[in-house]
Structure 1
Amino acid sequence: MSTTTIRLTEELKARIARVAERNGTTPHGFILGALEEKVDEAERRRGFIDEAEHRWQGFLNDGQVYAWEDMRDYLARRARGESPALPAKKTFGHEP
């Protein structure tokens, strides 16, 4: 395990110590946990953004979308435990 130095204000250091004690851990353990949570959050957010960008590119490439009415029905059926087929995609901006 490597060592990294961070500079904390005295106020933040005291707050961390109080919270860590109340949570039954050490300041070091609390800081490690907080960093892990923040990294997990950043990775999830990046994954979400990457997926959104991928889907946006797919839309730009083919202009195909699911009509909200069809998707709403599909999701309602899934929520009831059914296994419906995914609705057909439609070209954006064109009525069937």
Structure 2
Amino acid sequence: MATTSVKLNDELTERLKNLADLKRRTPHWLMVEAINRYIEQEEKRTALYADAMESWRDYEETGEHVTWDEARSWLQSWGTEDEQEPPKCHQ
């Protein structure tokens, strides 16, 4: 396990201590939790962006797509008695 040093200003240090006390956790636990959550969030955001860019490149190559109205109609049918099949891509 690696040790990393983080410099916090006095106000942030005090806020961290207060929150740790309220949650009955250590400041260290809160910092590790915050870093883990941030990294998970950014990994998901990065993966979503990569998927979006791959979809865009695919669209540019093929021209295949569904319209917003087609997608919206399908999404609005979710969980209803008349749930639709996903729309087919077209040019």
Q: Is the structural similarity TM-score above 0.5?
A: yes
The answer to whether the aligner puts 1:88 opposite 2:75 as a matched pair is no
Alignment of 1:66-85 (within 5 A): 66-80=66-80, 84-85=84-85
- Flag the 1:84–1:34 CA change in 2: closer, same or farther, 3 A: same
How far the C-alpha of 1:65 sits from its partner, in A, is 0.9
- How far apart, in 1, do the equivalents of 2:88 and 2:29 lie? 51
Partner of 1:18: 18
Matched residue SS, 2:78 = helix
In structure 2, what is the equivalent of residue 58 of structure 1?
A: 58
Identical columns (%): 23
Q: Which structure: greater strand fraction? A: 1
How many equivalent residue pairs? Answer: 91
CA distance in 1, matches of 2:48, 2:10: 36
The aligned amino acid for 1:71 is: A
Unaligned ranges ≥5, structure 2:
none
TM-score (ref. length: structure 1): 0.82
Distance of aligned partners of 1:81 and 1:18 in 2 relative to their CA distance in 1, 3 Å threshold: farther
Alignment partner of 1:64: what SS? coil
Structure 1, gaps ≥5 residues long:
92-96
Q: CA-atom RMSD, angstroms?
A: 1.6
Question: Does 2:35 match 1:35?
Answer: yes
Q: Distance in 1 between matches of 2:72 and 2:5?
A: 51
User: Cα offset for 1:11?
Assistant: 1.9
